[in-house]
């Protein structure tokens, strides 16, 4: 079974239990804490992926590292460790946030442009994404890539809106080759 499927199953179980216990906000805070720890520590990732360490050592370390997390979140990590799935904890947190965002009606959009966009342009992009996706809230992630030359590329909900000059140049080259 693929890492994504495994992570999604654990994330779904955690999300459903959090809904049942009315602890979604607490678990979201835990998941964000776990994500931040995994992103900020390569040693933690190596630790989670290490087959050399025994289960009791990993369980004790995870309990100490994430002592501030709720019992529900810790129980899931310990269960994943019992099932030799602790290496999927980072992927599980990503899958959990996808479920949470879907539940709250939040869409994440990635905007790539050659230069930093103004606040008014970002506001217009948020409005466009919200109207197109039907989302209640839009979270924009902006990146700057000088290779796009001009224009912008917006990716959200599996859709790509590519209005970059680079893309138009590529289309023009294809059209000229066909003619």
What confidence tens digit (pLDDT) does each residue in 121-151 have? 999 999 999 999 889 999 999 999 988 888 8
Banded pLDDT at 1 (limits 50, 70, 90) = low
What confidence tens digit (pLDDT) does each residue in 53-109 have? 999 999 999 999 999 999 999 999 999 999 999 999 999 999 999 999 999 999 999
- Residue (of 175, 157, 177) closest to 98 by Cα position: 157
- Domains of the chain (ranges plus CATH)? 3-102 (1.10.520.20), 105-178 (no CATH)
Please tell me the predicted confidence (pLDDT) of residue 7: 95
Mean pLDDT of the chain: 92
């Amino acid at each position: 079974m693929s890492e994504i499927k495994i992570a999604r199953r654990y994330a779904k179980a955690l999300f459903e239990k959090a809904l049942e216990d009315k602890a979604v906000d607490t678990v979201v805070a835990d998941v964000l804490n776990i994500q931040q720890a995994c992103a900020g520590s390569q040693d933690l990732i190596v630790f989670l992926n290490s087959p050399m360490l025994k289960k009791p050592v990993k369980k004790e370390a995870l309990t100490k590292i994430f002592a501030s997390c709720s019992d529900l979140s810790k129980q899931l990590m310990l269960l994943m460790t019992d099932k030799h799935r602790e290496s999927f904890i980072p992927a599980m947190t990503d899958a959990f946030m996808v479920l949470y965002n879907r539940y709250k009606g939040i869409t994440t959009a990635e905007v790539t442009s050659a230069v930093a966009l103004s606040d008014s342009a970002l506001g217009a992009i948020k409005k466009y994404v919200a109207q197109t996706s039907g989302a209640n809230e839009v979270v924009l992630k902006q990146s700057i890539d000088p290779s796009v030359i001009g224009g912008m590329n917006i990716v959200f909900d599996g859709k790509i809106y590519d209005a970059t000059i680079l893309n138009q140049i590529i289309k023009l080259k294809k059209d000229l080759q066909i003619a």
